[in-house]
Amino acid sequence: MFDTGVTTSKQFSFNPSLGEIVLNAFGKLGIRPAQITQNHMFDARMAANMLLSEWSNFTPNLWQVDLQTMPLTQGNATYSVPAATVMILDLYVTTGQNPTIDRYLWPISRTEYASYSNKSTQGVPTVYWYDRLISQNVTFYLTPDGNGPYTVKFYSVRQTQDADFMNGMQVEIPHRFYAAYAAGLAWKLSEIYNPQLEDKLFLRYTRALQIAQTQDVENVSMSITPGLGGYFTW
């Protein structure tokens, strides 16, 4: 526990429920708790989940990143991806035993995969094509051979869990995004309940979101090394 030298709560447990955030959002619209009806709450639940769906496009959201693992089988190039996956960030294949060797795989486009003349050629996979369908999948080239076992591991951004009012449930977002979420919810609800505030609330929301997203990064240095080997022959 941190000793700040002043009288404070000494707690780090602030995590409002969806219901509390909704009350805050309606307050920004001038709607007090006693005025809120069942229809208000229905619209709020829909807006809360629509906002989370919208945020899934701002990838990567670091709190949604997790590591997935799938075994590869000989002769099978295409594998289903968990339905909640929004995008794949990094993928590598593990081969060998004692020790295991990790080999990073680069993504390719649909067009690149279509250009390969013999897609059934077997070997150690070197690239992958992530097909973002509703029932999404990932296809490897080369097709895994029998010299494994091969295990693919990939960091994925997954969908945020549904926002719901039941049993005082919280929203699956980190502390640094609470203000942005409440502001975004107020903006979405203003379309229905107070359209004259919509532009003002949108500006407040985008400011709060920008502040939050500034800190939703990995604090590491970046280096860029040109790949000159492909440009010259000797």
- Structural domain contains residue 92: yes
pLDDT for the residue 219: 79
Same domain (yes/no): 75, 141: yes
In the listed set 139, 159, 179, which residue is the last one of a domain according to the structure?
Answer: 159
Q: How far apart are the first and last CA of the chain?
A: 63
Q: Is the pLDDT of residue 176 over 70?
A: yes
Same domain (yes/no): 89, 201: no
pLDDT for the residue 232: 42
Q: Is the pLDDT of residue 2 over 70?
A: no
Average pLDDT rounded to a whole number, residues 187-192 = 98
Same domain (yes/no): 143, 193: no
| pLDDT, tens digit (0-9, with 9 covering 90-100), for 61-71 | 999 999 999 99
Same domain (yes/no): 50, 80: no
Same domain (yes/no): 86, 130: yes
Number of domains in the chain: 2
Same domain (yes/no): 88, 122: yes
Average pLDDT rounded to a whole number, residues 137-143 = 98
Average pLDDT rounded to a whole number, residues 36-63 = 95
pLDDT for the residue 231: 44
Same domain (yes/no): 77, 155: yes
Residue type, position 80, single letter: S
Same domain (yes/no): 143, 73: yes
Same domain (yes/no): 71, 48: no
At 193, list the tokens. Answer: 């309940």
Same domain (yes/no): 96, 136: yes
- Structural domain contains residue 131: yes
Average pLDDT rounded to a whole number, residues 137-148 = 96
- Structural domain contains residue 190: yes
Strand-pair category, 101-108 with 137-141? unpaired
Distances (CA, A) of 149 to 27, 73, 124: 58, 8, 10
- Structural domain contains residue 114: yes
At 121, list the tokens. Answer: 């050629």
| CB neighbour burial string for 196-217, b if at least 16 within 10 angstroms, e if fewer | ebbeebbebbeebbeebeeeee
- Structural domain contains residue 222: no
Q: Is the pLDDT of residue 220 over 90?
A: no
pLDDT for the residue 205: 98
Q: Is 229 helix (H, G, I), strand (E, B) or coil?
A: helix
- Structural domain contains residue 133: yes
Same domain (yes/no): 123, 110: yes
Taking the model in full, what pTM does it have? 0.86
SS3 for 177-209, per residue? HHHHHHHHHHHHHHHHHCHHHHHHHHHHHHHHH
Same domain (yes/no): 80, 115: yes
| pLDDT, tens digit (0-9, with 9 covering 90-100), for 112-136 | 999 999 999 999 999 999 999 999 9
Q: What percent of the chain is predicted at pLDDT more than 90?
A: 83
- Structural domain contains residue 100: yes
- Structural domain contains residue 12: no
Domain that holds residue 69: 64-159
CB 218 within 8 A of CB 62: yes
Task: Tell me the C-alpha distance between 203 and 183, whole Å.
Answer: 9
